[in-house]
Amino acid sequence: MVDLKANPYYLSDEDIKWAEDTIASMTDEEKVGQLFFQLTESQDEAYLKNLMEKYHVGGCRYNGMPGKKVQAQNRTLQTYAKVPIFIACNTEGGGDGACADGTAIGSGVKIGATGKEEYAYALGKMANEEAASIGCNMAFAPVCDIAYNWENTEIICRAFGNDPERVAKMSAAYVQGAHTIPGFACAAKHFPGNGQDFRDAHLSNNVNYFTPEKWDETYGLVYKTLIDNGLDAIMAGHIMLPEYARAINPDLKDEDMMPATLSPEIMKGLLRDKLGFNGMVVTDASHMVGMTDRMTRREMLPRCINAGCDMFLFFNDPDEDFATMLAAYQDGTISEERITEALTRILGLKAHLGMHKKSAEELVPSQEVVAATLGKAEYKEMHKAISQDSITLVKYKDKDVLPITPERYKRIMIVHIKETESGMSTLMKLLGAPAKKSAAEVLRDKLIEKGFDAFIYESPIDKVKKQIEAGEQPSLNVYFAGKNAIDDFVSGQDLIITLCDVSSGRPVFGFSKGGGEIPWYVFELPVVAIGCGQPTMLADIPQVRTYINTYDSTNDTFDALIDDLMTGPEAFKGTDPIDSYCGLFDTRL
């Protein structure tokens, strides 16, 4: 069923015997436990010991925390594991996806803007060197999606772009970089391919609408490239692929259409049979609505294993989910043949990584290694180089706006455009998380250092908040009749920077009357709009005549941005990796 001597395992007879003997010696509970990847909820030793000895999980993921805490947790997990476990991280943009003090290297879209595969290789190598130093052995990366739909906020910043060949080459380069690290694996995501549907699979269904022919030459090209280059594992997304599913099974009815994680047509017919993938498959997170809205959870758990997934990402309730999967195995819903196939891939990959030959101490490096690895100067220099090569001048209609110098534009107003506050952001504020400098404050301070008189625009709603906080009665006139004369507005500054600081969702402009958030004034004075998160802000402010994407707002990025602004249009090195005009007619005017 599984060829452990072939790609991606290449196991010796001795390694295969270890995998087969280990499976043969397992209890039912131990077999079922190997199917689960769990998100740890505590670093308490008793909790971690119980997780390993009661549930026997095959893999773990964890929430963000400093590297030394992750290392200590991982050492505890491996100490109590009867079979060494996968410990995964989300290093799709840098070592900061492995721990809080890891190094940001560059998001997929940012690296895509450089056009340089060597940067994708460096990302895979450097991000996962940091991850390996704290005891991780698997990256839920690279992101192999293709950014076809600008309204898809789930992957627009994470994918390498909208060109399948570029995505294939950069994804393969990432994997090559990661594979320079002994005992480290990659799980590419999100098969069969995100990036078409505007909806987020965390919250709703997600559909890939391509025909089999179109899929083969796009997403299929990406995954075949990775498979041929030794990809270890794949993360299956909760994404429907109806045209391909029907081509494989013409009897499928619309109401029977399933996301890939629950579809044998996609997981077996396409991934295993047609693409020939022999490696391990793990589902995306099981709490996502793209998976949970198709059937009861009791049906869903064994269904995903029977569909062809080998590991299930995250318990809901550990006792309940474990009991459900155990019962499904013991009553034959999951056959002996199917569970053995899944376990063979799981243990085969662990043997490929050499985990069975290492002690807990060897599986998780010491804290001295952590201290010597995290935040290396070469990682920071790589981030700086990528920042310098990625910033993209997308739209430049007013050809004389640049360069920006204190002699030309002494007084600069920064209009900070934000997104709707997420539930997590609200929670962190309620918990008293320390406030950090905003992107607008960072940019302001850097401009002041360069000799500009820069300040941040105070919106009408901010003024109303101050009135309320001071115990005053706020005036609605600020909204209905609070506009200034154009001459008064223009005289307050020489240039305006509209800073779109939106990482997810759509920008929020506050008041539509009496405010300056929306750049209605693009013909009244110079305006430079900058997207420092999602690179699709032209859809919301199509009237701006100069638009730049920086892809993030780190110090190095803003340093490179200011250098480019002060040099002129020829300084911008990035090329648009997506359609930043969002396919809209008016964004190009």
Give yes or no for a contact between 182 and 125, defined as CB atoms under 8 angstroms apart.
Answer: no
**Rounded distance between C-alpha atoms, residue 48 and residue 531, angstroms:** 42
SS3 for 372-395, per residue?
HHCCCHHHHHHHHHHHHHHCEEEE
Q: Residue holding tokens 């007084």?
A: 411
DSSP 538: G
Burial (CB count <10 Å: 0-12, 13-18, 19+), residue 56: buried
Q: What angle do CA 155, 274, 242 make, to 5 degrees?
A: 50
Catalytic site positions? 284
Which residues, listed in sequence order, are joined to residue 233 by a DSSP beta bridge? 187, 280
Looking at the DSSP bridge assignments, the partners of residue 418 are 508
Residue 236, Cβ neighbours under 10 Å: how many?
30
Distance CA 141, CA 225 (A): 15
DSSP 128-149: HHHHHHTT--EE---B------
Whether residue 578 contacts residue 151, with contact meaning beta carbons closer than 8 Å, is answered with no
Alpha helix stretches (DSSP H) within 249-376:
264, 289-292, 297-307, 318-330, 336-352, 360-363, 367-373
